[in-house]
Amino acid sequence: MLFTEFRFVGFFATIFLVHWLLPWNRARKLWLLAASYAFYGAWNWRFLSLIVASTIIDYLVGRGLERTSETSRRRALLVVSLLGNLGILGFFKYYNFFAVSAAEFTSWLGLGLPLQALEIVLPLGISFYTFQTLSYSIDVYRGRLVPTKSLPDFALFVAFFPQLVAGPIVRAIDFLPQLANPGRLSDIGLRVPLVRFLLGYIKKACIADHIAAAIDPVFADPAAFDGMTLWLASLLYSLQIYCDFSGYSDMAIATAALLGYHLPENFGFPYLATTVQEYWRRWHITLTTWFRDYLYIPMGGNRLGPARLAINLCTVFLLCGLWHGAAWTFVVWGIYHGLFLTIERFARADRLPRALGHVYVLLVVSCGFVIFRSTSLPAAGIFLSGLLPGASTGTLTIWPGWWGMVAGFGFAHAALSRWPLDSPVARAPGWIFAAAYGVAVAVVLPWAANEYEPFIYFQF
Amino acid sequence: MSPVSAACGVRRTARRRLALAGLGIVVFLAAAALLRSVQGPLKAATIRAQVEAFLAEKDDVDAVFIGSSRVQRGVSPRVVDEKLSTPEREFRSFNLGIAGMRSFEADWLVRRILDAEPARLRFVVIEAPDWKPEHVPQHDFTERYVDWHDARATWLVLRAIWKFNGPWYTKLELSWRNLRFFAMRSVNYATKDRLMARADPAWDRLVAGRGRLRGYQPLDEDTPRVGRRRRRFLENLDWFEKSVADIRAFAEKGQLAIPGAFQTYDLASIEEQVERVREAGATPVYFAAPGLARGPDFSALQRDGVIEHLIDLRDPSEHPDLFAPENRFDREHMNEEGARLMSERIAAELAPIVAGVAAESTSSSRGSTSEDRD
């Protein structure tokens, strides 16, 4: 089930009403847990078993860690959690990639390992909930978090439907305390989440899905399109993936807020960044902070000299790329960003004039997304070489009006960061807000794309 | 604050929020209705052009043919008009057959045409409907399928779903599906193209193209597009001829109709359709196309007086030329020559009905003239 689907309206209205009509917090939590499993099961109920398995492993690990202070036993328990979670993730997401790559490599060496690809369905959102459960075990192991005694609470933390399939990646340290201190409907401001949900819907259904239809042919056959169109398509894809993913995050955060829960911000106007480093502080924030806290800093971060810094950055971003998908395009995309981050540490990109900084980031990010979006590295090479002046021999174009969409988006992006809507929305008289919201929804719905496009980040 | 005043405050907040939610919903529905009223025609070229072409000449049309592609590809208004025109009065018909159109959509189209109040319309010829509320996967979420789900059509479908014999979960699933289409239509979901359709320069050309043959689309004209069907038909001619032989055998035994089939369909909808056409001053005529499958017993409906006029071309013994492979484009559709033959047959069957209606109106106009004199 997608947030943009019609049936989600009925689903959420039921969840919302029953949730707030239930008088006990315990009952509400169980209701939300059941709803979350139903939400996930609507896609494929068989894969619920994986979420349940992951939940039980980390719940038991947490309980075990609480009972023992012996370092070796604690370490063993953490290894159980890591192997359990990463084992499931590794099999479902990476087995085919590594098996096929290993088979090709050994065949090139003349050894020929008999490894074959299996028909594996990637469970929805597995990368997201695996990282959530891992962060719980690691935080408990490090003594930063008191493990919960309640299995339903922990299960709800793992499966809470607004963020289950595409984030934001929530930390137990932020979420579990909210389960113990329930809010009241009368204390919750409904307007800001309602507006945020609508904005997320516009980003996803009215912008991202339309862009997808326009640029899919360009990425399918980049050699057939002229150079300007390739530039336009690369910018539009940067826009599409932002609107798709941040739109989903907006809807997730708004949905959770309407149920009385706070989810962390996932985006902070990334295309206003003037360095790649700043871009990564604004893009998919919950993932980058996860990698920072659980991988980059434990690896030594920037404390062990320039060489280790470069290695650490490239390693972390290689894994970040792999997290996004099991393909060489994602690996190269990750290393590409790691290299730019390393260069920036030494070349001080923050000294660039502001306007130039924006152009630089947009260029780096858009070219990076060409690698990310392409079906293979050779296809990415054809696309990127076509961006060079006079290099493309293709003649096809797409509607030039899309340049207007890029400009309009840039303006809206900057305007919303400078003048957030929250304050005027909260201050407006109730009847004006209600009427304006009614008109806004009526105007937005006709602009939805005709068919439901899955969220890009669902595949991760 | 005391617990009592706190509780009062919560109740006040809840009441206020409910009132605002109500206001928001009312404004939303009003705005959606307003947007709907300024929308252009359907994007789906077939139905959009066909209907608009009809509306352009609605006041000059005596008869419309409504049905699936079997009507669209099989009835030539020019042939029908030649046969039914007299030196005193030109007869003019229009083909509103549309590919894939089933009973509920056809009924919606009948209503839409009658609502346009065509001045001269006297006959509405409708391909015999089964009113079976089935799920057609390839139609799902298409603009056209959503578009006919107005309140009336949705109600008819829901009523038929719950009359239809089937497991409760199928009924529930079908009901939910149709309610979703109704909701999507009501809120103008994904209809941006229609908001801008009038500005489409190709639009007038498309309508003019459809108007040229008054809705009829000979299959021979677009052979490349449907070439695969044609090739399949030619490759399986033996199968076609065997199917015709089977149907002929059923017809000879008087078993062309599936016994009791109408018990599982929605008779009330047929009765309401007949009534609606009559109220608009036209005569409903039902038409059963020459097909290869047995179907509901339309003759029984005629015997029972539910429908008055039926043009039944389903018997291969009576209409062998309509089942001859050389007159077929594929197993379901006529080629241009087949369409000419079928149109002549329809005109021949329509002639006495037209004459009867003309006589009736002459006598009633004479009666009213003498009453005027009195």
Give the mean pLDDT of chain B.
Answer: 81
| Facing B25 at nearest CB: one of A430, A438, A451 | A438
Residue at B178 is within a domain? no
- B17 belongs to a structural domain: no
Are residues A252 and A392 both part of a single domain?
yes
Query: For B326-346, how does the pLDDT look when each residue is reduced to its tens digit (9 = 90+)?
Result: 888 888 888 888 899 999 999
Interface confidence (ipTM) of the complex? 0.75
Host domain of residue A41: 6-182
Catalytic residue among A19, A324, A358, A413: A324
Same domain, A13 and A139: yes
Report yes or no on B174 lying in a domain. Answer: no
- Its sign, for the CA torsion B318, B319, B324, B329, is negative
Closest CA to B289 of B249, B233, B331, B254: B331
Contact B24 A435 (CB under 8 A): yes
Closest among A183, A175, A182 to A148, alpha carbons compared: A175
pLDDT (0 to 100) of residue A38: 92
Of the three residues A165, A182, A199, the one that is the final residue of a domain is A182
Domain count across chain A = 2
pLDDT at B99: 81
Sort out which chain B residues have CB atoms less than 8 A from A448's CB and list them: 189-190
| Number of domain units in chain B | 1
Per-residue pLDDT of B90-147, as tens digits, reads: 899 999 988 888 888 899 999 989 998 999 999 999 987 777 777 677 666 677 788 8
Q: What is the CATH number of the domain that holds B57?
A: 3.40.50.1110
Chain A residues in contact with B31 by the CB 8 A cut-off are 438-439, 442-443
Taking only the tens place, the pLDDT of each residue in A52-107 is 999 999 999 999 998 888 888 999 999 999 998 888 888 888 877 777 787 777 87
Tell me the DSSP string of A271-308: GG-SSHHHHHHHSSHHHHHHHIIIIITTTTTTTT-HHH
Each as own residue / partner, the long-range contacts of residues A249-252 (CB below 8 Å, 24 or more positions apart, any chain) are A249/A166, A249/A167, A249/A168, A249/A200, A250/A196, A250/A197, A250/A199, A250/A200, A250/A203, A251/A3, A251/A4, A251/A162, A251/A196, A251/A197, A251/A200, A251/A201, A251/A204, A252/A3, A252/A162, A252/A163, A252/A166, A252/A167, A252/A168
- Identify whether residues A155 and A202 lie together within a single domain: no
Instruction: Choose among B28, B184, B191: nearest Cβ to A6.
Output: B184
Does one domain contain both A164 and A209?
no
CA A139 to chain centre: 21
Please give the structure tokens belonging to residue A24.
């006990």
Whether residue A151 is contained in a domain is answered as: yes
Interface mutation target, options B13, B23, B142, chain A, most CBs of A under 10 Å: B23
| Domain range enclosing B343 | 44-138+197-373
Q: Is residue A410 part of a domain?
A: yes
Given an 8 Å threshold on Cβ–Cβ distance, is B141 in contact with A450? yes
Low-confidence ranges of chain A (pLDDT < 70): 349, 450-460
Which of A126, A150, A182 finishes a domain? A182
- Residues in contact with B287: Cβ distance below 8 Å, sequence separation at least 6, in sequence order: B65, B67, B71, B125, B126, B127, B128, B310, B311, B312, B313, B346
Mutation target to probe the B interface, by most B beta carbons within 10 A, among A2, A4, A6, A7 is A6
Concerning whether A413 is annotated as a catalytic residue, the answer is no
Nearest to A447 among B24, B29, B192 (CB): B192
Give yes or no: residues A95 and A213 share one domain: no
Q: Which residues contact A259 (CB under 8 A, 6 or more apart)?
A: A15, A16, A19, A32, A162
Do A110 and A78 belong together in one domain? yes
